[in-house]
Structure 1
C-alpha cells in the first residue's frame, strides 16, 4: 500500500514538472503516452540538491568523449589480450616442463625397478652361496680356522 502511494506521488510530481515544462518529454502513440527524458529529470532534481554540475557534465557528452572512452576500452582490450598471450605462453611452457619432469620421473622409476631386481637377484645368490656347504661360508670358516691354528 505504501509503495503504491509512493509511486502515485512520484507520478504526480513528474506530471506537475511536465505541466510546468521543466523537464523534457514527448507523447508517443495514439494513446498519447508520455515518455520522460530521464537526464533532464535527473538534472532537475540535482539542481535542487546543488549537484547540477555533476549530473549535467555526465549527461552532456560529445563525440570526443566517446572517442576517448573507445580509445580507453581498446587500450584495455589490448592490455588484456597481451596478458592472455603471456599467460598462455607461460602455461604452455609450464605444461612442457611438467611433461619433461614426468618423463624423467618415469625413467628414474624404471631404473629403480631394474636396480631393485638386481639387488634381489644378488641377495638370493649370496644366500645360496652362504647356505651351500661348499660355498663361501665354508671357505671363510676354513680360513679363520687356519689362522687360529697358526697362532
Structure 2
C-alpha cells in the first residue's frame, strides 16, 4: 500500500474531525460505539480513523435526514447518497485488492528468484559431482601411488 492511499484511507483523529467539520469528541464517540473503525498507528501510537467508514456513517446520516424532509425530492437525493456510499465502499475495496495484488506480485517475484538461484546451484553441484566422479575414475584406473603401495603390502 503506498503512502498516498494509506493517507486517504486512514487519518489522525484531528485530521478526520477537521475534514468532516466535526469535533474530536463527536468522532471519538462514534469510535467508542463501534460505528467507525480506528486504531493506533505510527511511532507515537496516535489514534487514526478509517475514513471510508466515517464517510459511510455521515452519508447514512444524510439519508436519514433527507427521509425526514419532503418526500418529493427525496428519491433523487437518496439515490445520489446511495451512489456515494457505494462509491466509497468500492474505492476502499479497490485499495485493499490493489494492495493484495502488489503483495502477491512481490511474493511471486521472490519465488521466481529463489527458483532461478536453486537451478543455478543445482547446475554447479552437478558440475562438481561430474568433476569428482571423473577424478575418482582416474584414481581407480591409475596403478601407481597409494593403490600400488596397498597392493604391495598385501603381497607381503
TM-score (norm. length: structure 1): 0.51
Structure with larger Rg: 1
- Using the alignment, how far apart are the partners of 1:76 and 1:142 within structure 2? 93
State the partner residue of 2:144: 134
**Off by >2 Å, runs of 4+ in structure 1:** 135-143
Paired residues in the alignment total: 86
Shift of 1:138: 3.5
- Using the alignment, how far apart are the partners of 2:98 and 2:149 within structure 1? 69
Q: Which has the higher contact order (CA 8 A, sep 6+)?
A: 2
- Unmatched 5+ residue regions in structure 2? 1-70
Name the Cα RMSD after superposition: 2.0
State the partner residue of 2:130: 120
State the partner residue of 2:24: none
1:16-49 CA distances to partner (integer Å, 9 max, x unpaired)? xxxxxxxxxxxxxxxxxxxxxxxxxxxxxxxxxx
TM-score (norm. length: structure 2): 0.49
1:71-108 CA distances to partner (integer Å, 9 max, x unpaired)? 11111111111111111111011101110111111111
Residue 75 (structure 1) aligned to one of 79, 85, 103: 85
- Unmatched 5+ residue regions in structure 1? 1-60
